[in-house]
Amino acid sequence: MLSFWEKDSFYADADIAIIGAGLMGLWAALEIKKHSPGTTVTILERSSTPLGASTRNAGFACFGSLTELLSDEKNMGTNAMLEIVEMRYKGIEKIKSTFSSEQIDLDKCGGYEALGPINWAGEINDRINYINQLLTSITGKANCFSNASNQMSSIGLKNFDHLIFNPLEAGIHSGKLVSALTQLAIEKGIRILNGIEIIGWEKLNDKISIRSNQKKSIQANRLLICTNGFTNELIPSLAIEPARGQIILTAPIKGLSTKGTFHFDEGFYYWRNLGDRILLGGARNSDFSNERTTNLDGSELIRQKLVEFLNTHLDTTASINIEQSWSGIMGFTENKLPLFQQIESNVSVSIACNGMGVALTPVFAEKVALELLN
Ligand SMILES: Cc1cc2nc3c(=O)[nH]c(=O)nc-3n(C[C@H](O)[C@H](O)[C@H](O)COP(=O)(O)OP(=O)(O)OC[C@H]3O[C@@H](n4cnc5c(N)ncnc54)[C@H](O)[C@@H]3O)c2cc1C
């Protein structure tokens, strides 16, 4: 049983309760406060620190590689592709205007896409020019992408055929970003309760009574669920597919010349330097079925694939030792786009989803907040 004091402070009724204190929940809470400072917001997070994707990702502030944008254009049409690029681009700009570079270790290193053999090698510059033209109105830059294949060896890579550079992408420190957002949320009067796992809710008169696993409940007028890859546990009917992403981090590599953020194979492999270390993630496509899980224990098979990838593509004579590895859980909607949906009256979900939540959440949260406050 809660005491009167607890019930009247930490667990007081909120106008809006949010489940999940990852990037989506935090940005959504901040946007609600921005548009309606008097609205009370409580975030309910089951872990002591957010535990899903936001603090376990690779920290790429990216808005889409050349081949991804070409493929998106083919699948969803030019306007839809540009709409999502714009959201991501503006998201990165918003992060930069909200926090100083020092607060989030922003590294304006640029992003690369590495390519193996392609049957359109002769058209690569034409395709770069084509996408550049489309993106100019978003980025204000005439040449967002450029062919950097001749830098392959100076950048310390091997066994790729092409390299495409985008100077507008960056790396950030994922832990510092979430920590800075959490701090900002607290400053804005958003209440964050950690260690409270939500197991359900029911309507009680005009309110929603949100139940936790500790017999502590809170009441709110509206509920927003930002549980990403774990959403199936609460709302199986939405069929959000969990996808585990694994990462390895090397010990410092002597003379490392690889600097920047990198993608390969439709983003199934991604790596960046962290000082003179390499952080590499991906390889989920080597074992899709077993990686469709919310279990945070990594798999040895994927880890081996990642090590193999490093040995094949990092052009160094120095020894490569793996110092750390971890995994995080993504959540995918069917069309791989972010989802905002009302699932019953006054209860909505917002799934940042896919591999680009860093860039997407800041702007998607604006839409979510406006819908909720409507
Ligand atoms: C390995 C990996 C690498 C990635 N790399 C990048 C990258 O470089 N760039 C990029 O833009 N994106 C990347 N992403 C994707 C990005 O991290 C996500 O899109 C984003 O973090 C999603 O944020 P979220 O708040 O929706 O989800 P999450 O961060 O997963 O937050 C969900 C929160 O809900 C909480 N929760 C779940 N169930 C309950 C419950 N019942 N009660 C209370 N709390 C609950 C969880 O504890 C968690 O803290 C990567 C993801 C992974 C896994």
Can you give the pLDDT at residue 103? 98
Measured in whole angstroms, how far is the alpha carbon of residue 119 from the centre of its chain?
31
* Token digits of residue 237: 């009917």
| Whether residue 360 is found in the same domain as residue 258 | no
> What sign does the CA torsion over 89, 93, 98, 104 have?
positive
Domain presence at residue 48: yes
pLDDT of residue 336: 78
Q: Look at ligand 1, atom 12, and give the residue with the nearest C-alpha.
A: 356
User: How many structural domains compose the chain?
Assistant: 2
User: Are 199 and 234 found together in one domain?
Assistant: yes
Same-domain check for residues 235 and 247: no
Residue 153 forms part of a structural domain: yes
Is the same domain home to 302 and 312? Answer: yes
Among protein residues, the one whose CA lies closest to atom 41 of ligand 1: 198
For residue 306, what is the domain's CATH number? 3.30.9.10
In percent, the amount of the chain with pLDDT more than 90 equals 94
Ligand 1 lining (C-beta closer than 6 Å)? 19-25, 44-47, 50-54, 56-60, 197-198, 226-230, 233-234, 245, 247, 281, 328-330, 352, 355-359
Average pLDDT over residues 111-135: 97
Answer yes or no: do 265 and 323 share one domain: yes
Residue 93 lies in a domain: no
* Nearest CA-CA partner of 339 in 239, 243, 266, 268: 239
Rounded to an integer, the average pLDDT of 339-347 is 96
> Which among 31, 43, 45 is the best mutation to test ligand 1's pocket, defined by most ligand atoms within 8 Å of the CB?
45
- Quick check: is 101 in a domain? no
User: Does some domain include residue 260?
Assistant: yes
Do the Cβ atoms of 16 and 372 come closer than 8 Å? yes
Which amino acid, one-letter code, is at 61? Answer: A
Average pLDDT of span 343-362 = 92
* Residue 19 banded pLDDT, cuts 50, 70, 90: very high
pLDDT tens column, 228-243: 999 999 999 998 999 9
Encoded tokens for 175:
């832990």
Segment 76-101 mean pLDDT? 96
* Domain identity same for 119 and 253: yes
Burial class (CB in 10 A: 0-12, 13-18, 19+), 54: buried
Which residue, among 24, 66, 69, has the nearest Cα to 45 in the 3D structure? 24
Same domain, 253 and 304: yes
Q: State the closest ligand 1 atom to the C-alpha of 330, by its place in the atom list counted from 1.
A: 53
- For ligand 1, atom 52: residue with the closest CA: 57
H or E element, residue 346: none
For residues 228 and 20, the answer to whether their CB atoms sit within 8 Å is yes
- Segments forming the whole domain that contains residue 136: 107-170+242-331
Considering the domain boundaries, does residue 321 fall inside one?
Answer: yes
Q: Which of 172, 224, 227, 325 to mutate to test the pocket of ligand 1 (most atoms within 8 A of CB)?
A: 227
Tell me what the mean pLDDT of segment 250-256 comes to.
97
Cβ atoms < 10 Å from Cβ of 315: 14
Residue 354, pLDDT > 80, answer no
Asked if the structure places residue 100 within a domain, the reply is no
- Give me the DSSP letters along 26-69: HHHHHHHHHH-TTS-EEEEESSSS--SSTTTS--EE----HHHH
C-alpha dist (Å) from residue 256 to 160, 206, 252, 304: 18, 60, 8, 22
Shared domain check, 180 and 155: no
CA distance 15 to 10: 14
Residue keyed to tokens 């909200």:
98
Hey, whose CA ends up nearest to atom 32 of ligand 1? 227
> Residue 68: what are its φ and ψ, rounded to 5°?
-65, -40
Residue nearest to atom 34 of ligand 1 (CA): 20
Closest atom of ligand 1 to CA, residue 350: 26
164 and 204 part of one domain: no
- Inform me whether the pLDDT recorded for 273 exceeds 90: yes
SS3 273: strand
Mean pLDDT of the chain: 96
> At residue 266, does pLDDT exceed 90?
no
Q: Are strands 14-19 and 41-45 parallel, antiparallel or unpaired?
A: parallel
pLDDT of residue 272: 98
Q: Are residues 166 and 260 in the same domain?
A: yes
Q: Looking at the structure, tell me whether residues 269 and 326 fall in a common domain.
A: yes
Using a CB cutoff of 8 Å and minimum separation of 24, what contacts does 4-12 make? 10/191, 10/193, 11/193, 11/216, 11/217, 11/218, 12/40, 12/42, 12/191, 12/218
Indicate whether 202 and 313 sit together in one domain: no
Q: Can you say whether the dihedral through the CA atoms of 12, 200, 32, 21 is positive or negative?
A: positive
pLDDT at 10: 96
Averaged pLDDT, 247-261: 98
- Residues 297 and 260: beta-carbon distance below 8 Å: no
Q: What is the CATH number of the domain that holds 195?
A: 3.50.50.60
**164-213 residue pLDDT tens:** 999 999 999 999 999 999 999 999 999 999 999 999 999 998 999 999 99
Q: Is residue 49 part of a domain?
A: yes
pLDDT at 338 over 80: yes
pLDDT, tens digit (0-9, with 9 covering 90-100), for 37-88: 999 999 999 999 999 999 999 999 999 999 999 999 999 999 999 999 999 9
